[in-house]
Amino acid sequence: MSEVKSAAVGAAQSTQKEGYWTVRVYRERALRLLVIAIALIYALFPVAFIISSSFNPSGSILGQGLIPNNPSLVHYNELLNSALFPFPLWVWNSVKISTITAFLAVMIGALSAYSFSRFRFSGRRALLLTIFLIQVFPNILAIVAIYLLLQTIGEIIPAFGLRTHAGLITVYLGGALGVNTWLMKGFFDTIPRELDESAMIDGASNWQIFWVIIFPLVRPVLAVVGILSFVGTYGDFILPLVLLIGEPDQYTLALGLSIVLGDQFSQNWGLFAAGALLGAAPIVVMYIAMQDYIVGGLTQGAVKG
Amino acid sequence: MATIAKMDARSGTPGSPVGIILRLIGLAILDAFAIWFITRLFADQAWVFGVLVVIVTIGINAFFLSEKLYAFRWFSPGLALMILMVVYPMLSTIYVAFTNYGSGHILSRQQTIDLLLEPRGDNLFIPEGATEYQFAAYRSEDGRYLLWLIDEAGRAFAAAPGEPLMANGEGLDGVGTLDSDGFPETIQGYTRLNRIEIASDDILPTLVFGTAEDSIGISGRRAARFELRYSYDEASDTLTDRESGVAYTAVDGVYTAADGSVLPGGYFVWVGLRNFIDLATSPALSGPLVQIFIWTIMHAFLAVLITFVVGLSFALVFNSDLVPGKKILRSAMLIPYAMPAFIAVLIWRGLLSENLGPISIVIRDWFGWSPPWFTDYFWSRVGVLVVQMWLGFPYMMLICTGALQSIPSEIYEASEVDGASAWQRFWNLTLPLLLVAVGPILISSFSFNFNNFGVIRLYNQGGPPMTPTAGWTDILISYTYRIAFSSGQSDYGLASAITIVIFAIVLVITVLNFRFTGTWEEVSQNV
């Protein structure tokens, strides 16, 4: 704080109209801080409201303030033991689906990126460009066809049909190659090929080069892709809605929370608030902690050279 | 680039014998599974998908057997999944858009016919002059039925649904003594029904006793041998009701009589451009579609615009040495973006709720009136944008902050020397430079919101209703969802036709974006 002030004052002192500048700086600063206060209130009041509601024993949204009366953990207790809806099961489903999807998506992406980055083969260029083009279209556009496809598959292999996690994960993984290969390949390309070449002279196989040399070096980008994939899957709503609907035990948190609690503001608001907070907190913490990587990954997107 | 120019001669090392054996075993297991799966797919008439599975299987075998195709091994799992779960659905969408697939047209042609020729329920009737039986009916406590039949030659059978006829009740336990007409007085576990009970029993006439080949049913006071109601003539593709003599021919995949009555079930047929023509010309569809299309564009455009304006404003305010603790403040501002959107939208649903929501209550206290956020077409759209603004401004703020910091400070100094005011500097220097930097992100943000199903669906399920199948906040993708899944009548063909419209729009946006940013050239070079 004092550093900034002295810097500003120092800047002001270098001009000749010293008094004028100081007043102007203080005024500008006050104005900026005012706008920032408004911005913070705007960004955080829904969050504060939810936190307060989750500790307020009243279940209705009516009469909730920013500071709960008689704070209690009654909603959290109910959440863990509710007969109305299986919150822990849904969180587990979401975490399970997102973890498996993220892990396999990273593996698929890393293996493909290694191949595209290190090997030269005919069809490579056409294949890369095709992958780039296909990933332009989000898979939810073909949601009707995906639904019909899982129906067909489910008649033959019930474990991969509609209303199964395996089916849903398979659909997510279909997009793994398109979305992740480009991002990862750009990163793989930055690792000097001399490293692999010297290892090869020492008699290492491709697989050993990948695991022992490249893999440890690309861990940061794998972490970013994994987290983005996890967060994206955790927050996805349309695919679970279309593919899992009708089987509450299979619901993800996004689906369960929206369907069971979405409309019950007068009775279930406190319960919803507790669930929303528990469901959002890990993701928010992860995001804030990794913000530099994630924003970098997002903005550079698929075209990182 | 130099290293890339040096052609890589690397290919698969032959590998140890153990490695080769393991690879062959793995392939053998995969192939065995694939062959089973493909056979079943073809049996279910999933031709195109089946052929793709064949191609993928052959491809994987080639990759893992040929050393020349070694590089393909590494991405074969991802490629296989992409072909089956992304490329196939795209192709299938295009195909379905030209059919009438949907409620009433779910089956294949053979399945439709088989269903009507299956010996059960309404597909059976008792013709004039059918073999008749004298009978007695029995019912068990848990609601199972049994018939005792005596044919014209005096032979006796017991018959239960789904089981072969039992001559003289062989195989039944505890058949009691026969009465004067030859029917058992009692059968263990069953109670004999009297005439009145038989006449008033609702279930008895619906049952088919015996097996498909030997089926016997009760009609009024008669027990008689059933026959199939419909006869199918392959040459004319006609099903004829043998009782009434009415002939049914296939019209758009449904067997229809001359008077318009139809048989249950139906298959999907190629209908050419009909779905597209319906979308363009049918008043029930084209009216809502135009409205939804305009709102889809408006929604995506306005969502980008307001998040950009708010995000940029905050970024400008934050971007100063006069602001202390920027890192922490920025992190706090990121929370709305970090929160999973499905949770944020649901929270806002509560905040805006018309009777109970705190925001609505505060507005009502101040102005004596609060907007009908969910029931009025205009205010529900405003509500969507209110939510979008909160969800999206932190991202724009981050992007703008990065872009602002990359603008060299020398040009500001130069303009100050020239006497430009702060306002002029913003409009003539900052904004144009900023737009060049964040332009591509604004366009991809537009693309994303163009198909932002989650926000629309969670906010108000696309409502309030415009027509029974369309709502005022519906965007194209949520309208597609409604047509395919959430109205009583699923119309996959029509939904796919709309999807193709979305495909085309996304393609146009993408091409423009590539042109604008030179992405394609960049990508081509980086290959």
- Do A141 and B323 make contact, defined as CB atoms within 8 angstroms? no
Which 8-state DSSP code applies to residue B486? Answer: I
By Cβ distance, the residue of B70, B477, B503 closest to A137 is B503
Tracing tokens 């008895």 back to the chain, one arrives at: B204
What is the C-alpha separation between A177 and B82, in angstroms, rounded? Answer: 7
- The pLDDT of residue B498: 93
Q: Following CA atoms A121, A127, A129, A130 in sequence, which dihedral angle do they give, to the nearest 10 degrees?
A: 170
The 10s digit of each residue's pLDDT in B96-150 is 999 999 888 888 788 888 888 877 767 778 777 777 888 888 888 888 888 888 8
Residues A176-205 have a mean pLDDT of: 87
- The pLDDT of residue A262: 57
Residues A278-298 have a mean pLDDT of: 79
Helix A176-189 vs helix A219-235: angle between axes, to the nearest 10 degrees? 160
Partner residues linked to B187 by β-bridges: B175, B190
User: Would an 8 Å CB–CB cutoff place B453 in contact with chain A?
Assistant: yes
Q: Taking the CB of residue B30, how many other CB atoms lie within 10 A of it?
A: 14
- The pLDDT of residue A17: 54
- Do A234 and B340 make contact, defined as CB atoms within 8 angstroms? yes
pLDDT at B421 over 70: yes
pLDDT at B63 over 90: yes
- Do A132 and B523 make contact, defined as CB atoms within 8 angstroms? yes
User: Would an 8 Å CB–CB cutoff place B500 in contact with chain A?
Assistant: no
What is the C-alpha separation between A155 and A231, in angstroms, rounded? Answer: 31
By Cβ distance, the residue of B49, B441, B454 closest to A237 is B454
- Do A32 and B320 make contact, defined as CB atoms within 8 angstroms? yes
The residue type found at A127 is: L
C-alpha pair distances (Å), B422 with each of A7, B415, B425, B428: 21, 10, 5, 10
By Cβ distance, the residue of A193, A266, A276 closest to B3 is A193
What is the C-alpha separation between A118 and B275, in angstroms, rounded? Answer: 47
Partner residues linked to A65 by β-bridges: none
The residue type found at A133 is: L
Which 8-state DSSP code applies to residue A290? Answer: T
Q: Are strands B254-256 and B247-251 parallel, antiparallel or unpaired?
A: antiparallel
Percentage of chain B surpassing pLDDT 90? Answer: 37
> ∠ CA(B400), CA(A298), CA(B475), 5° rounding?
85
> Between A and B, how many residue pairs show a Cβ–Cβ distance under 8 A?
297
Return residues 93-132 of B near A (CB < 8 Å): 93, 96, 101
Closest alpha carbon to B498 in B106, B97, B88: B97
Please identify, in words, the CATH class of the domain defined by B131-225. Answer: mainly beta
What is the C-alpha separation between B88 and A152, in angstroms, rounded? Answer: 13
For chain A, the straight-line distance linking the first and the last C-alpha, in angstroms and rounded, comes to: 39
Backbone angles phi, psi at A137, to 5 degrees: -95, 115
pLDDT category of residue A67 using cuts at 50, 70 and 90: confident
What is the 3 state secondary structure string of B373-402?
Answer: CCCCHHHHHHHHHHHHHHHHHHHHHHHHHH
Q: Following CA atoms A90, A93, A99, A100 in sequence, which dihedral angle do they give, to the nearest 10 degrees?
A: -160
Half-sphere exposure of B149 (CA within 13 A, CB side): 27
Helix, strand and coil content of chain B, in percent to the nearest 5, comes to: 55, 15, 30
Half-sphere exposure of B199 (CA within 13 A, CB side): 4
Residues A5-26 have a mean pLDDT of: 59
**What SS3 class is residue B246?**
coil
By Cβ distance, the residue of A116, A200, A262 closest to B346 is A262
Partner residues linked to B217 by β-bridges: B224
- Which chain B residue is nearest to residue A289, measuring alpha carbons? B331
By Cβ distance, the residue of A131, A145, A241 closest to B89 is A145
Percentage of chain A surpassing pLDDT 90? Answer: 36
Mean of the per-residue pLDDT values of chain A: 84
Residues of chain B within CATH 2.40.430 domain(s) are 131-225
Q: Which residues on A lie below 8 Å from B23 (Cβ)?
A: none
User: Would an 8 Å CB–CB cutoff place B86 in contact with chain A?
Assistant: yes
| Annotation: CATH topology of B14-97 | Methane Monooxygenase Hydroxylase; Chain G, domain 1 (1.20.58)
- Do A144 and B484 make contact, defined as CB atoms within 8 angstroms? yes
- The verdict on whether omega for the bond into residue A57 sits within 30 degrees of 0, i.e. cis, is no
pLDDT at A302 over 70: no
Closest alpha carbon to B225 in B159, B175, B154, B170: B159
pLDDT at A298 over 80: no
Q: Taking the CB of residue B190, how many other CB atoms lie within 10 A of it?
A: 20
What is the C-alpha separation between B316 and A32, in angstroms, rounded? Answer: 9
- Do B85 and A143 make contact, defined as CB atoms within 8 angstroms? no
Nearest-CA distance B90 → chain A (Å): 6
Radius of gyration of chain A (CA): 26
- The pLDDT of residue A2: 43
- Do B453 and A266 make contact, defined as CB atoms within 8 angstroms? no
Percentage of chain A surpassing pLDDT 70? Answer: 85
What is the C-alpha separation between B280 and A50, in angstroms, rounded? Answer: 46
pLDDT category of residue A79 using cuts at 50, 70 and 90: confident
Radius of gyration of chain B (CA): 35
Residues of chain B within CATH 1.10.3720.10 domain(s) are 290-477
Tokens standing for A274?
């507790």
pLDDT at B159 over 80: yes
> Considering all CA atoms of chain A, what is the largest pairwise distance in Å, rounded to the nearest integer?
84
Which 8-state DSSP code applies to residue B44? Answer: T
- The pLDDT of residue B198: 82
Residue B117 and residue B228 in contact, taking contact as beta carbons nearer than 8 Å:
yes
pLDDT at A68 over 80: no
Domains of chain A: 2-72 (no CATH), 86-260 (1.10.3720.10)
pLDDT category of residue B235 using cuts at 50, 70 and 90: confident
What is the C-alpha separation between B512 and B389, in angstroms, rounded? Answer: 25
Closest alpha carbon to B395 in B348, B432, B442: B442
The 10s digit of each residue's pLDDT in A105-139 is 999 999 999 999 999 888 898 999 899 888 888 88
Residues of chain B within CATH 1.20.58.370 domain(s) are 14-97
Q: Which helix (H) or strand (E) holds B133?
A: strand B132-140
ipTM of the complex: 0.86
| Annotation: CATH topology of B290-477 | MetI-like fold (1.10.3720)
Tokens standing for B254?
């449904």
